[in-house]
Structure 1
Amino acid sequence: MQTLNNLPPELLRQRHTLRERILSVTAADFNATALAVFRYQAVYNPVYKTYLSLLGITPGQVTGLAQIPFMPIGFFKQHPVLSLAGVGITEPTTTFASSGTTGTQTSRHIVPDTALYADVSRRIFEQQYGPLTNFHILALLPSYLERNNSSLVYMVQQFIQDSGSAQSGFYLNDRDALTGHLRTLLQQDDRTVLLIGVTFGLLDWIEEGADLHFVGKSNRVIVMETGGMKGRRKELLREEVHALLTDKLALPAIHSEYGMTELLSQAYSPGEGLFYPGATMRVLLRDTNDPFCIYPETYTRTGGINVIDLANLDSCSFIETQDLGQFGPDGTFRVIGRFDNSDIRGCNLMASL
């Protein structure tokens, strides 16, 4: 069994060089770095390599991001998507899994380098919100805590550790304790409190009956929803969720995080659902009927969201999601909804693997 530390020297150097480029990537060199990662994964990721072959793609002829085929996200349910699997990387450090209802197949994301995930997610958050040491972090993520393989819980655990705050922590279902602790924190020091919660958990919290207007009056609380009802409540539009939360909490805006098990990079919205992707992330839109038709960034209508996630160095960085979105100004995007069909066209190509 090979590990990342005892790969053949030439391959180890190649991966290390890409890893360093990813950690320091800027907008100016994003395209070049993405193409380098594409060529690497086209050779060393067996699942993605087979997908490209079935599409008739010659990697050496791909010269721009719009030419890169994006792998349907459903492959994470069907296959072990792992770069370097062909040279013996068979025992990952960590495997993250998505939530799912009874009887449904969940996505599995093999991550042999969790340090890269931690470094990238920290950089993305701090570039938008400032140092984690400025925060107390309270997490209301009951559906994720009930599992032991959530990438979101892992990320928030790293954030709590990096914050250096002994007052940070997770809450399962004790929402009264959350309210009391939040009130106490706002009386103690001048750190900002980041309350990050799954949508149904935040809605359950504000319906407990307590007066929560002290949250907005403090000017020191960021409430961030991670999306999803996880089958616990009726699905609502993001605008409806935010309207309920801003009213009950007396806040001017609710922040949002866009991420998923299959991605190691995140995008954050400071309000109104307009997401700013992290430095290692780029969102493209595709035609809703032709997944291989990529729209220009000037496109003004809804399209399917494709994500380039450079942090997915050890899985696949080019993901065709099941989300629908629109471009916003200055590289931002909105998430409008999801495709009605659960299996995006393209998955059938891999059925014989």
Structure 2
Amino acid sequence: MELQNNKSIAEIRAGLRERIITFELADFEPLALRVFRFQAEYNPVYNEYIRHLGIDPAGISALTQIPFLPIQFFKNHRVATGHYADAPVVFQSSGTTGQTTSRHHLYDEPLYKAVSYRIFQHNYGDLNRFHILALLPSYLERTNSSLVYMMQHFIEESGSEYSGFYLNNTGEMLHRLRYLADHPDGRGILLLGVTFALLDLAESSFDLSFLKNIEHFMVMDTGGMKGRRKEMLREEVHDELTASFGVPAIHSEYGMTELLSQGYSHGEGLFTPGYSMRILLRDINDPFAISDHNFGASKTGGINVIDLANLDTCSFIETQDLGRYGEKPGTFYVMGRFDNSDIRGCNLMVL
């Protein structure tokens, strides 16, 4: 194999890490193949999975040939590449009482922060151009949410004294929004919230009419009803939110505990993956039949994610989400979830 030389694991990892932070999109496939060979050799869980499939990693030469690790492995195994101890930070997915949840070990906090910042910056500009108000009641009740961790980083990077988290103090948040509306300073305002909390606010008795007068106001839905409300179609949710908040579109984020990169939608549920991600679709009836964007824009398949930020765990994840490609290469829609998969309390919505 390419990696079987005199270099140590640490040296190989350091070289890959540097490339992940700085590479250009044209170099995605060769870099992903290098990461695959690294993880196929030094990740015990992934190595064993590939061995059981009877696949020789040396024979993999294209992204569609790479075996993707079923996401359920994060529930029952410590998925790690070249690490033999627990990480300083361990993200855990939400779940109902008694349900086994996923655990994702974060060994390199600076890498995660650098990648997530670059992805946001590419989509929306520098974080210091925003006041960020995070309405995440269900997530703030937990101490190991990857979304809260990322938003804490974003709030700090915004450098705004008005940025912050809100649990159930909606009135205080609206007071802050009204102040920012009356005292514009050239920054945009990002209101990011879990779906049920945004809907609760939209249907509350609070006067939201002043929001329509904020020039640079953006609402981002992170998905998730958390059992608080009945499930709704994305179109229904976003129609209600656009009307209540006076914005032309509702933005969304695609991410989950098992991924360190994010995709963003600027409206209508069409996502663009971050620079460190690639979305491939697999046949619903054959998980090993993986196709690139030529799969067909109208055809639904299982979503497989390549996430290079998962350098220390596994970058090749077979999710339980259903999706289809958008017309523009690289873009995708999330159509829902496989019927027999667990309900996940993350930022996904049924279409």
Q: Same fold (TM over 0.5)?
A: yes
Bigger Cα displacement from structure 2, 20-29 vs 38-47? 20-29
**2:329 aligns to what SS in structure 1?**
helix
Residue aligning to 1:206: 202
Unaligned runs of at least 5 residues, structure 2: 1-5, 343-351
**2:288 aligns to what SS in structure 1?**
coil
Q: Is the 8 A contact 1:225 1:256 kept in 2?
A: yes
Residue aligning to 1:215: 211
1:104 aligned onto 2:99:
yes
Distance 2:60 2:290 in 1: 14
The aligned runs of 1:244-259 (5 Å cut-off) are 244-259=240-255
Bigger Cα displacement from structure 2, 61-70 vs 211-220? 211-220
TM-score, structure 2 normalization: 0.93
Distance 1:28 1:36 in 2: 15
The total of aligned residue pairs comes to: 333
TM-score, structure 1 normalization: 0.92
Distance 2:80 2:292 in 1: 30
1:147 aligned onto 2:142:
yes
Residue aligning to 1:229: 225
1:71 aligned onto 2:66:
no
Unaligned runs of at least 5 residues, structure 1: 1-7, 344-353
Residue aligning to 1:334: 333
The aligned runs of 1:284-323 (5 Å cut-off) are 284-298=280-294, 299-300=296-297, 301-323=299-321
Residue aligning to 1:179: 174
Identity among equivalent pairs (%)? 60
Distance 1:97 1:130 in 2: 29
Runs of 4+ in 1 over 4 A off after TM superposition: none
- The residue identity in structure 2 corresponding to 1:19 is R
- The residue identity in structure 1 corresponding to 2:255 is G
Distance 2:7 2:66 in 1: 28
Q: Is the 8 A contact 2:86 2:105 kept in 1?
A: no
Q: Is the 8 A contact 1:186 1:220 kept in 2?
A: no
Distance 1:155 1:108 in 2: 16
**1:331 aligns to what SS in structure 2?**
coil
Distance 2:138 2:7 in 1: 42
Bigger Cα displacement from structure 2, 295-304 vs 226-235? 295-304
Distance 1:310 1:325 in 2: 20
Offset at residue 331 of structure 1 (A): 1.3
Offset at residue 193 of structure 1 (A): 0.7
- The residue identity in structure 2 corresponding to 1:190 is G
Distance 1:117 1:229 in 2: 26
Deviations 1:222-260 (A, max 9, x none): 100011111111111111110110011111100000000
Q: Is the 8 A contact 2:181 2:213 kept in 1?
A: no
**2:90 aligns to what SS in structure 1?**
strand
**1:334 aligns to what SS in structure 2?**
strand
Residue aligning to 1:5: none
Deviations 1:85-132 (A, max 9, x none): 3xxx30311100001111111100011111111110000000110000
Q: Is the 8 A contact 2:119 2:262 kept in 1?
A: yes
- The residue identity in structure 1 corresponding to 2:332 is F
CA RMSD of aligned residues (A): 1.2
**2:206 aligns to what SS in structure 1?**
coil
1:242 aligned onto 2:241:
no
